[in-house]
Amino acid sequence: HSAEQTEIAEVPAWDSLNPGTLQLVSKLKNPSGSCSVDVSATWWEIAGFKEPCVITACEYVVSLWKPLDAWQWEKIYSWHFTEVPVLQIVVVPDVCSLVCVALGNLEIREIRALFCSPDGKSEKQVLLSSGNIKAVLGLAKRRLVSSSGTLCDQQVEIMTFAEDGGSKEKQLLMPPEETILTFAEVQGMQEALLGTTIMNNIVIWNLKTGQLLKKMHIDDSYQASVCHKAYSEMGLLFVVLSHPRAKENELLGSPVFQLTVINPKTALSTGVMLYRLPHGQAGRFLEGDVKDHFAAAVLTSGTIAVWDLLLGHCTALLPPVSGQSWSFVKWSGTDSHLLAGQKDGNIFVYRY
């Protein structure tokens, strides 16, 4: 099979899925002794040039890797943390040479910005917010949204970075009366923001005015859905959801992602498509990432599965490598690569 082959006419059985649709192009080995937790890609200015860099996060170290020739990588900066471990990397689109991280144990306790001194010789970090933080997301136009506090004093805050990543403006959004689990941008609508809540509602804000526009209840068959992507078309809102708490269905296989359509005017919604695992493949959604019309998920089986959301089915499976289960997966925002990581610090870069 060629690496370019991505079209499959019929729903394939798992043993006929083409592993060649994912071609390994590069590998990074993070030698840090602590457990690897996340990976991402971002633009960083190095010696006057913006380079597509990879960011890796272990529990107590976040590292920036710059590309060398022939798909080699060189670690150029490391930020160290001593008290609170890193939970996730938060890339802020449209900001160069700055990345945010969420730190905490089970829940986020701090959000920090990581950058370098103007001469590029030393790593810097600054605390952006602290407290009982529930969700955080980087948004277009150099913005970062986070929610913190409990039900009665929940605060939803937008922080806007200056072009150089420096001084910040803050704005509050109207909080919904239920805990927010995740945020999602609406593709092509920079002033719209979605949130998913613990009560299985999707809320929508106007970022310009801070108004909470609507609370929309979605299908109760899956609890605590997470929204990975949203777009508006012909007056309807389409959302790609995952169901981390869905029970495995032996007959049908576990639905890993779901496309749902919502009419924001009436708050009525209906399922459009379920993205299931191929027959014979077991596992539930652990974590995943959606970019354009491609969705990738790490399954409880330790395998990574990729779906083409337009074709409607799984197009590639990536079983554990060297007997090691996959722990996290991200689409690179700087190109069309898939970044797959294992707990021991191995990061693999695949061309899809």
Q: What residues make contact with another protein under the rule CB under 8 A? A: 174, 189, 191-192, 204, 206, 209-214, 232, 234-237, 261-266, 268-272
Q: Measured from the CB atom, is 72 or 263 closer to another protein?
A: 263
Name the minimum Å distance from CB 221 to another protein.
15
Q: Measured from the CB atom, is 211 or 300 closer to another protein?
A: 211
Name the minimum Å distance from CB 266 to another protein.
4
Q: Measured from the CB atom, is 213 or 282 closer to another protein?
A: 213
What per-residue string of b and e applies to 72-108 under the rule 16 or more CB within 10 Å gives b? ebebbbebebeebbbbbbbbbeebbbbbbbbbbeeeb
Q: Measured from the CB atom, is 24 or 236 closer to another protein?
A: 236
Q: Measured from the CB atom, is 211 or 223 closer to another protein?
A: 211
Name residue, tokens 């900001």.
Answer: 95
Residues whose CB falls within 8 Å of the CB of residue 242, separated by 6 or more in sequence, listed in order: 225, 226, 228, 256, 257, 258, 285, 288, 297
Name the minimum Å distance from CB 308 to another protein.
20
Name the minimum Å distance from CB 312 to another protein.
14
Question: Which of 82, 23, 114 has the alpha carbon at shortest distance from 336?
Answer: 23
Name the minimum Å distance from CB 263 to another protein.
4
- Alpha-carbon distance of 111 to 79, in angstroms, equals 14
Name the minimum Å distance from CB 148 to another protein.
22
- Alpha-carbon distance of 209 to 104, in angstroms, equals 31
Q: How far, in Å, are 204, 254, 258, 271, 285 from residue 201 at the CA level?
A: 10, 22, 15, 14, 20
Name the minimum Å distance from CB 216 to another protein.
11
Neighbours of 156 (CB within 10 A): 25
Q: Measured from the CB atom, is 123 or 219 closer to another protein?
A: 219
Name the minimum Å distance from CB 260 to another protein.
9
Q: Measured from the CB atom, is 61 or 240 closer to another protein?
A: 240
Q: Measured from the CB atom, is 8 or 236 closer to another protein?
A: 236
Continuous segment of H or E residues that includes residue 129: strand 123-139
Question: Which of 349, 297, 283, 295 has the alpha carbon at shortest distance from 327?
Answer: 297
Question: Which of 195, 211, 217 has the alpha carbon at shortest distance from 203?
Answer: 195
Question: Which of 89, 94, 147 has the alpha carbon at shortest distance from 113?
Answer: 89
